[in-house]
Amino acid sequence: MSQELYSPGPQNSPFGLLNTNAQGSFYGTNSGFSAEESNLIQKAIKEAIFDAAPAQYDALKLAFSKSPKEYGSDEFEYLETTFGRNPLEVAANAGVVAPSAGNQVTQTVTVTAGSLQYASIDLIVSYPDGSEGVIQAITGSDLTIGSLTSAGLPALTAGQTFAIRSTIEGDGMDTFSVYQRTETITRYNYVQFFMRAKRWAKVELQKHINQGTTNYLDVDKKIKMKQLRVDLFASYFNGTKGEYKIANNIIAKSMGGIFPTMVEAGSLTANPTVSGLQAAFEKLAFATNFKAEGGTRFIYATDEMCHEFSKIYKQPGLRYEPNNEIANLKLRRIELGTQNWVLVPCELFRENSVFPDAWKNRILCLDVESIRPVKMKGLPTYEVGSTLDRRNNGTRENYQDWYCGAQLSLEFNNPLGCFYIDVQ
């Protein structure tokens, strides 16, 4: 081993602080004094790798608070019953019919084809102005409506609607007039399968085990599992139902998520500015209030959009004393009449790598009780594992794969009891 003379003192080459840097030191590239590296000291690296990824999963936790419903296949149908009555829409203008004392007058009204399935003789209908009549006959798309004795019937314009007040029966009849069967809507969805994996060569993996200076192996697994959760989150809210041809011409099914199902079903929507958010929200909330009195629905939106609700409903009523140091604008629940609305922040809605840009200002107002996760029977909801490790277990592969996977779909029974708002 050779010896080298040097003059004692700080920063004397080649042993001073300027040259006492670990291999791969950042200082070697930043220094203006040609700093050198040494293999005599270890690079200082914090052992625990900090996780800086978004961590808001309250919405997914809420979704999976219910145990998944199981079906025997990766595709399934479910039926939804309707309210059982619908307004009758006028298809063409009808003129006013003057009253005749002591007599009943009639009016011929043409309705839309979609309204005919809800029309029947002996139904009392209410006109837009509050007048009433009874359906006496149906010919094609034309309804013959009779008035009350001594009453007339008002004019109608295309697009107006009749409300169905009730059926009516007279004494001594030998027939039934109103025959109805329960109408159902058939909906369907696919179970989607998810998978993320990583591969370690034999020597590479053992080197990390033997020489690793951080918790990289553990962090890498956790990140894979977190990304799988993000896959589930994005698909649960925004998955499009259909079929893909993936690698090697393999066919795979994609699940339908909450928002595309709402669009397909025709859920109510609005596009207000921030100043019009309150009016739009309250109008749609009352228009979709199909739950029992006191029922709870949920508002899913970014923290910023939830804060707008706080400014609408809480900020105007806040009062402060001189020594107050905290402005508490957090709002958890909104009560409208008999309705309860719970706010659920979803910060991942603003993450452009997960959702399209429009989701930053999108507010989903949902009846969560009508939404349930679905899985295929006989297969696990989640699976984590690894392939056979190396050749000593009888495989030819000189590597090991670690994987995490899942399956998910949903059953959404009441999309018309939900709505969404895109704030401009």
Which pTM does this prediction carry?
0.74
10, 7, 14: which is closest to 34 by C-alpha?
A: 14
Query: Do the Cβ atoms of 56 and 351 come closer than 8 Å?
Result: no
pLDDT tens digits for range 30-82:
887 888 888 887 777 666 655 555 555 555 666 667 788 999 999 999 887 76
| Per-residue pLDDT at 90 | 94
Answer whether 112's CB lies under 8 Å from 228's CB.
no
- How far, in Å, CA of 113 to CA of 123, rounded? 18
Residue 337's pLDDT is: 81
Helix ranges restricted to H, 113-173: 113-116
Cα–Cα dist 102/96, whole Å: 18
Here the contacts of 269-277 (C-beta below 8 Å, separation 24 or greater) are: 269/419, 269/420, 269/421, 269/422, 270/419, 270/421, 270/422, 271/421, 271/422, 271/423, 271/424, 272/421, 272/423, 272/424, 273/423, 273/424, 274/308, 274/423, 274/424, 277/308, 277/309, 277/312, 277/421, 277/423
Output Rg (C-alpha) for the chain, integer angstroms: 34
pLDDT of residue 23: 85
> What amino acid is encoded at 142 in this protein?
D
- Half-sphere exposure for 92 (CA within 13 Å, toward CB): 8
For 122-168, the pLDDT digits (tens) are 999 999 998 999 999 999 999 999 999 999 999 999 999 998 889 88
CA distance 356 to 363: 14
Amino acid at 272: P
Q: What is the structure's pLDDT at 211? A: 86
pLDDT at residue 409 in the model? 95
Could you tell me which of 415, 289, 301, 284 has the C-alpha nearest to residue 364?
301
Contacts of residue 207, Cβ cutoff 8 Å, sequence gap at least 6:
none
Query: What is the model's pLDDT at position 1?
Result: 52
Instruction: With a cut of 70, list the residues of the chain below it in pLDDT.
Output: 1-2, 6, 10, 45-64, 82-84, 292, 317-330, 389-394
Domains of the chain: 1-44 (no CATH), 58-80+187-319+326-422 (no CATH), 88-181 (2.40.30)
